[in-house]
C-alpha cells in the first residue's frame, strides 16, 4: 500500500476529481479518498453553465451529447408571468445527472492514473500527513474537497468566514418529458423552485429558501405552473437536501493545505455556478502546485468568486419580494435585451461595464412599471 504521494485530495466529488485530474495532467502523483461509494449523488440543479463546460474541456473532459441535455437559456416565472433569455450563441450550457457526471469524471481520473480510494473516510491531517482509516499517507500537498461542511477547513483552521448568507435546498427527480429547453426559475413568496431537464424523460426539480422548514413537495403548490406539470408524475429519486449559501472564506490555503469547491466557500444554488467555479479553481490550483506556491491560488480563487457572488446577490434581491418580482419580469418582457444581456453578464460573456446601461434601463423600467 502506497505511503506517500505528491497530492492527496480529500473528497471525490466533482471538485476533488477536477483537482485530481488537473494535478495529474501536470505529472503529479495523486490520491483521492472519499467516504462514499460511486457514483456519488448530491442535491444539485444539475446544470453545467458555459464556464463549467469550458473548464471541463481544459481538464480534457468533453461531456458526450448522449449523456446530457442542451440548455438554451433561462426562464423566470412568477405568479402567471414569465420572461425568457437565451445564452449567448457561443456559450453552450448543458444539464446532466450528477451520477453520470461523477462517472465521467472518475473514469477520466482513473484513466490518467489517479489512485481512487472509495469508501475511505479521512479522519485527520497533521503536517504533511493524512489519516485514512488505520493508514497514514504522507503528501506534499493536501486538498480539502470535502464539501459544504468541510472538516478539512476546520482541521486547517481556515474556517474564518468574511460573510455567509445561509439558505436551505432540496431536490428530487420526476419522470416526465421535458416541457422546455430552458432552466426554469419559479419565484415564490419565500422560496424559489428550479426545474431542469436531465434526459428526454426526467426533470430535476429543486427548491431553495432561507427557511429551513421549507421542503420540496410542500412548497410545490406555491409554483402553480410547475405543480400542474408534475401532477401525477412518478418520482425517480429520493429527496436530498443541502445547504446553499453565499459563503466567502478569508483564506482558502494554509501551509500545504488548500481548499476547493464547496469546502472553499460557496455561491447560492440559484446561480448554477458551483460546479463551474470548482472546475476553474482546480485548473488554477494545479498551476500553483507547479509554481510551488499557493499564493497564486488564493488570489485566483478570490477573483473567480467575484462574478458568481455578485450575480447571486443581484438575483436574491428578488427573494421574498413578490411585487418586485412582478415588476422585474414586466421590464424583462418589455425589454428582452436587458434580460439577455444580464444573462450574458452572468455567464461572463459581458463585463459589468457593458451592462451598466441595462442596469439603468432596468431601474428606469422599475420606476415606471
Ligand X SMILES: Cc1cc2nc3c(=O)[nH]c(=O)nc-3n(C[C@H](O)[C@H](O)[C@H](O)COP(=O)(O)OP(=O)(O)OC[C@H]3O[C@@H](n4cnc5c(N)ncnc54)[C@H](O)[C@@H]3O)c2cc1C
Interface with ligand X in residues 290-309 (CB under 6 A): none
With contact defined as beta carbons under 8 Å apart, do 209 and 319 qualify? no
Stretch that binds ligand X, among 103-111, 222-230, 268-276, 349-357 (CB under 6 A): 268-276
By CB under 6 A, name the one of 4, 6, 35, 298 that touches ligand X: 35
Q: Which of 31, 69, 116, 169 binds ligand X (CB under 6 A)?
A: 169
Contact range with ligand X by CB under 6 A, out of 32-40, 73-81, 308-316, 352-360: 32-40
Give Cα separations from 315 to 49, 134, 189, 321, 325 (angstroms): 16, 47, 14, 11, 10
How many other CB atoms are found less than 10 A from the CB of residue 127?
A: 10
> Of residues 9, 31, 33, 142, which one binds ligand X by CB under 6 A?
33
Nearest distance from C-beta of residue 333 to ligand X, angstroms: 25
Total binding residues for ligand X by CB under 6 A? 41
Are 347 and 273 within 8 A, CB to CB?
no
- CB-based contacts of 157: which residues, under 8 Å, 6+ apart? 254
Residue whose grid cell is 412599471: 369
Binder of ligand X out of 5, 7, 8, 13 (CB under 6 A): 13
Asked if 172 interacts with ligand X (CB under 6 A), we say: no
Under the binding rule (CB under 6 A), the answer on residue 19 touching ligand X is: no
- DSSP sequence for 30-99: EEEEESSPSSPP-S---EE-HHHHHHHHHTT----GGGSEEE-EEEEEETTEEEEEEPPTT--EEE--HH
Instruction: With contacts defined by CB under 6 A, name the span among 108-116, 248-256, 271-279, 296-304 that binds ligand X.
Output: 271-279
User: Of 261 and 365, which CB lies nearer to ligand X in the complex structure?
Assistant: 261
Cis? peptide before 39, omega within 30° of 0: yes
Cα 262 to Cα 33, 136, 259, 321: the distances in Å are 16, 25, 9, 28
| 118/324 with CB nearer ligand X | 118
276 binds ligand X (CB under 6 A): yes
| Interface region with ligand X, contact rule CB under 6 A, candidates 27-35, 63-71, 215-223, 307-315 | 27-35
Min dist. Cβ of residue 227 to ligand X (A): 18
Q: How far apart, in whole angstroms, are the C-alpha atoms of residue 136 and residue 301?
A: 29
Give the gyration radius of the chain's Cα atoms.
21
Is the Cβ of residue 77 or residue 269 nearer to ligand X in the bound state? Answer: 269
Using CB under 6 A as the binding rule, the residues of this chain from 136 to 155 that contact ligand X are: 145-147, 151
User: Quick one: 35 or 336, whose CB is closer to ligand X?
Assistant: 35
Among 9, 24, 28, 34, binds ligand X (CB under 6 A): 34
Three cell numbers, residue 25: 495532467
Write out the binding residues for ligand X, residues 213-242 only, by CB under 6 A: 242
Three-state DSSP class for residue 242: strand
What number of other Cβ atoms are within 10 A of residue 52's Cβ? 27
- For ligand X, the binding residues (CB under 6 A) are 10-16, 33-36, 40, 42-47, 52, 121-122, 145-147, 151, 169, 171, 206, 208, 242, 244, 261-263, 269, 272-276, 278
Amino acid at each position: 500500500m502506497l505511503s506517500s504521494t505528491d497530492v492527496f485530495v480529500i473528497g471525490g466529488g466533482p471538485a476533488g476529481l477536477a483537482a485530481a485530474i488537473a494535478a495529474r495532467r501536470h505529472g503529479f502523483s495523486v490520491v483521492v479518498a472519499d467516504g462514499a461509494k460511486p457514483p456519488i449523488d448530491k442535491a444539485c440543479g444539475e446544470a453545467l453553465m458555459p464556464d463549467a463546460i469550458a473548464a471541463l474541456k481544459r481538464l480534457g473532459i468533453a461531456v458526450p451529447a448522449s449523456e446530457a441535455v442542451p440548455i438554451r437559456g433561462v426562464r423566470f416565472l412568477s405568479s402567471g408571468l414569465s420572461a425568457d433569455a437565451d445564452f449567448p450563441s457561443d456559450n453552450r450550457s448543458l444539464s446532466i445527472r450528477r451520477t453520470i457526471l461523477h462517472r465521467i469524471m472518475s473514469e477520466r481520473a482513473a484513466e490518467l492514473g489517479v489512485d481512487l480510494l472509495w469508501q475511505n473516510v479521512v479522519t485527520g491531517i497533521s503536517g504533511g500527513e493524512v489519516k485514512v482509516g488505520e493508514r497514514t499517507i504522507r503528501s506534499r500537498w493536501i486538498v480539502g474537497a470535502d464539501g459544504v461542511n468541510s472538516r478539512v477547513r476546520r482541521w486547517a483552521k481556515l474556517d474564518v468566514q468574511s460573510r455567509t448568507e445561509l439558505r436551505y435546498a432540496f431536490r428530487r427527480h420526476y419522470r416526465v418529458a421535458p416541457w422546455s429547453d430552458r432552466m426554469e426559475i419559479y419565484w415564490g413568496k419565500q422560496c424559489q423552485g428550479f426545474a431542469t431537464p436531465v434526459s428526454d424523460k426526467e426533470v430535476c426539480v429543486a427548491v431553495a429558501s432561507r427557511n429551513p422548514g421549507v421542503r420540496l413537495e410542500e412548497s410545490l403548490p406555491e409554483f402553480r405552473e410547475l405543480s400542474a406539470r408534475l401532477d401525477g408524475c412518478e418520482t425517480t429519486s429520493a429527496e436530498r437536501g443541502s445547504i446553499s449559501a453565499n459563503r466567502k472564506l478569508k483564506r482558502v490555503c494554509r501551509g500545504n493545505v488548500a481548499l476547493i469547491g464547496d469546502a472553499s466557500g460557496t455561491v447560492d444554488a440559484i446561480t448554477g455556478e458551483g460546479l463551474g467555479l470548482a472546475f476553474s479553481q482546480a485548473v488554477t490550483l494545479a498551476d500553483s502546485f507547479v509554481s510551488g506556491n499557493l499564493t497564486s491560488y488564493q488570489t485566483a480563487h478570490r477573483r473567480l468568486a467575484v462574478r458568481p457572488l455578485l450575480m447571486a446577490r443581484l438575483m436574491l434581491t428578488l427573494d421574498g419580494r413578490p411585487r418586485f418580482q412582478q415588476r422585474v419580469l414586466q421590464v424583462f418582457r418589455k425589454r428582452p435585451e436587458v434580460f439577455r444581456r444580464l444573462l450574458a453578464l452572468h455567464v461572463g460573456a459581458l463585463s459589468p461595464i457593458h451592462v451598466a446601461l441595462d442596469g439603468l434601463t432596468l431601474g428606469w423600467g422599475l420606476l415606471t412599471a
